[in-house]
Amino acid sequence: MDKLSHEEKRAFMTGNEAVAWAAVAAGAEIMNGYPITPQNEIMHYWTRLAPKFNKKFLQTEDELSAGFTTIGGVLGGKKAFSATAGPGTTLFQEPLSMAEMMRIPMVLVVQQRGGPSTATVIYSQQEVNLVTFGGNGEGWRIVYSTSSHQELYDYTIKAFDAAWKYRFPAIILGDGYQAKMRESLLMYNPEERGILLVQPEVFVGKPGLPGRDRPADHLRNAFSVEEELFEAAMNIQQEYDKMAAEIVEADEQQIDDAKVVIIAHGVVSRAAVAAMNRLRAKGHKVGYFRPITLRPFPEKQLQAVAEKCSNFLLVESALGQLARLFKEALFNVPIKSFQTIYKPGVGITAEEIVEHIESHG
Amino acid sequence: MRIIEAYVGEYASGKSEIAINRALSLLGGELPVTLVDLDLVEPFYTLRPLKRELEGMGLAVITWDTKDVLGFGETGSLLMPQMRWALQREGHVIFDVGYGVSGSRIFNLLEGIADSELKIFAVLNASRPMTANLKDIVEYLQEFEQLDGLINNTHLGAETELATIYHGVELCAAVAEVMGIPVIATAADERFRAQLGAADQRGNAILYLKRYMEKAFW
């Protein structure tokens, strides 16, 4: 047995478990990992599932090795993935950059913890800079920021498909709260829903002589001269832009008559929606906008919101990392007001957002 | 009579919630009640945010306090001295035992365990995917060295329906028969009290739960 059973059913679990099950559902074959809280249970759970579903696991000596062995697995034709957090995400930048340059699909799940450095093992939204533009180069990654266990499941499956379809590394950005909290979700086998999973292919060691029996594959992360890199970079950027239009995602609610729009991503967007609903019940015209892909960022969607309402309250468990992406997207767009709640490494509740809007307008 | 109980089981099966509710249900008698957070793997997290609230309600709670562990980080396995001697306390003692089968191998660290009347109950949520059918549940529970009973805690969080609970009752009855241990109770959220009454369809007592662990959230 290497696939999920036919029965679709709701199950009660932690976010880390949801990721491990989703990786099975997405057809992942091997996880290469190095332990770090709060993602450990992805590894623990994967190793419990592995013998049941005929999967493999490799524990490496650090995150650099976890990243490069994941790439090795992919080059060998396997759907390989890894998971990490915090300082591990820092170390992962080198394999991620290599995957960007060589156009190697890989999936990395990041459960954000406090930073910088070891900080806390618990929670933050302080890895946005790292996952979007953390490597050397141009940030050619796909980043999905999830807000629930169902989304962890759905977007993990999506990340595998996007990575293998477009050949860019794909990151699932969760956090320690999503990792550890418990809620129910619907588990399903995507293929039984008619979702065609992209099948992995062997990248190196294909049969036949390259150039004679088949076209040669150029998997390169090193270039001799500036012009050569320039041409490669411009081609990749063009393909990234083309992909961006197809995969960019955002969620928005109650924008049309809004006087204030709350901006949030990930688990904090749950507090934003709850705050919006409570304020609406009291007669305040509040809307909400949430980027689901942080990279590529839903710029056009946000600009369309700004045309209707440009009084923004941006809320994040970091000191302005989402705000940086937000400002970039609205460069040269006139906005009326911009307020923030920044709480690096600390959760944000609906009550705090309600209180802020009621006292600041 | 003095009650000494430990709640064990699959990760996220509901051990802590049941241990808290069970301990609170014993308050009001002549004996004091102690709740012990026996988690050596992540010792600083489970009950810590609830300690003061539970103490305010009358429980003695043995768990780490934030001020005691500043700077400890991920220290690794650590047994709080008061936990080692918990069985020497007067009154009822309820243990919340973290981390599944390996976590349950902790009891040899407790002073006086050999002479105690400790009952170990496995908490089971059949909506957890690794313990969702008879075969998997029996395989899992057989790894425990001692089990004196089962608690059916089958639920789907906010999406729980009566049918979810009933399903767990039947599955637990089958597990109990195979393993030769009794079902002690069915646990259910307070909101089902009007529908469930005093016993489930198999006649097991219902332990109604008030949710505390939502505040722990990690």
- pLDDT score, position B65: 78
Cβ atoms of A53 and A3 closer than 8 Å: yes
Label residue B113 by pLDDT band (50, 70, 90): confident
Q: Is the pLDDT of residue A90 over 70?
A: yes
* Phi, psi (degrees; rounded to nearest 5) at A303: -65, -35
- pLDDT higher than 60, residue A213: yes
* Residue B73: per-residue pLDDT: 62
Token representation of residue B215: 């505040």
What value does the CA radius of gyration of chain B take, rounded to a whole number of Å?
Answer: 17
Q: What is the pLDDT of residue A148?
A: 97
Confidence of residue B215 (pLDDT cuts 50, 70, 90): confident
Contact of A230 with chain B, judged by CB distance below 8 Å, is answered with no
Distant-in-sequence contacts of A137-141, Cβ < 8 A, 24+ apart: A137/A97, A137/A100, A137/A101, A138/A100, A138/A233, A138/A236, A138/A237, A138/A240, A139/A100, A139/A295, A140/A100, A140/A168, A140/A169, A140/A236, A140/A237, A140/A240, A141/A96, A141/A100, A141/A168, A141/A169, A141/A170, A141/A171, A141/A295
Residue B186's closest CA among B195, B175, B201? B201
Which uninterrupted H or E stretch holds A276? helix A268-281
pLDDT one-digit tens code per residue, A100-156: 999 999 999 999 999 999 999 999 999 999 999 999 999 999 999 999 999 999 999
Flag whether pLDDT at A1 surpasses 60. no
Q: Do B129 and A13 touch (CB under 8 A)?
A: yes
Q: What is the mean pLDDT of residues A303-317?
A: 98
Structural tokens at position A80 = 């390989």
Rounded Cα distance, A203 and A210, in Å: 12
Backbone angles phi, psi at A225, to 5 degrees: -130, 165
Chain A residues close to B12, C-beta within 8 Å: 12-14, 17, 182
| Cα of B129 to nearest chain A Cα, Å | 6
The yes-or-no verdict on residue B11 having pLDDT over 70 is yes
The pLDDT value recorded for residue A6 is 59
Q: What is the average pLDDT value for chain A, to the nearest integer?
A: 96
pLDDT-derived band at B76, boundaries 50, 70, 90: low
Q: Where are the domains of chain B?
A: 4-215
Q: What pLDDT is recorded for position A337?
A: 97
pLDDT of B118-176, one tens digit each?
999 999 999 999 999 999 999 999 999 899 999 999 999 999 999 999 999 999 999 99
Terminal alpha carbon distance of chain A: 57
Q: What is the pLDDT confidence band of residue A304, given thresholds at 50, 70 and 90?
A: very high
Largest CA distance in chain A: 72
The pLDDT of residue B44 is: 63
* Angle ∠(A139,A20,A116) on CA atoms, nearest 5: 45
A212 touches chain B (CB under 8 A): no
pLDDT in tens, B20-72: 999 999 999 999 999 999 877 666 666 777 899 999 999 999 988 777 777 66
Q: Is pLDDT of B217 > 60?
A: no
Read off the tokens for A87. 């300082």
Partners of B132 on chain A (C-beta within 8 Å) are 11
CA distances from B125 to B7, B13, B194, B198 (A): 13, 5, 22, 20
Residues 22-51 of A with CB under 8 A from B: 37-38, 41, 48
Q: In this structure, which amino acid lies at residue A176?
A: G
pLDDT band for position B83 (50/70/90)? very high
Q: Is residue B80 within 8 Å of B34, Cβ to Cβ?
A: no
Cα(A127)–Cα(A108) distance, integer angstroms: 13
Dihedral sign for Cα A278, A281, A287, A293, please.
positive
Query: To which CATH superfamily is domain B4-215 assigned?
Result: P-loop containing nucleotide triphosphate hydrolases (3.40.50.300)
Q: Count H helices and E strands in chain B, helices first.
A: 7, 8
Distance between B67 CA and the closest CA of chain A, angstroms: 15
**What domains, with CATH codes, occur in chain A?**
9-193 (3.40.50.970), 251-360 (3.40.50.920)
A188: distance to nearest CA of chain B, Å?
12
So what's the ipTM on this one?
0.84
Give the mean pLDDT of A239-252: 98
- Give A10→chain B minimum CA distance, Å: 7
Using CB atoms and an 8 Å cut-off, which of residues 125-184 of chain B contact chain A?
125, 127-130, 132, 155-159
pLDDT band for position A312 (50/70/90)? very high
Distance in Å, alpha carbon of B5 to nearest chain A alpha carbon: 25
Q: Is the pLDDT of residue B74 over 90?
A: no
What pLDDT, on a 0 to 100 scale, did the predictor assign at position A2? Answer: 62
- Write down the pLDDT at residue B107: 86
Per CB-CB distance under 8 Å, the chain B contacts of A182 are 12, 157
Residues of A in contact with B155 (CB under 8 A): 12
Task: Give Dmax (Cα) for chain B.
Answer: 50
A13 in contact with B, Cβ within 8 Å: yes
User: Given B12, B129, B159, which is nearest A21 (Cβ)?
Assistant: B129
Residue B7 CA, distance from chain mean position: 3
Is pLDDT above 70 for B218?
Answer: no
Query: Does residue B82 register a pLDDT over 60?
Result: yes
Chain A contact set for B127 (CB, 8 A)? 10-12, 184
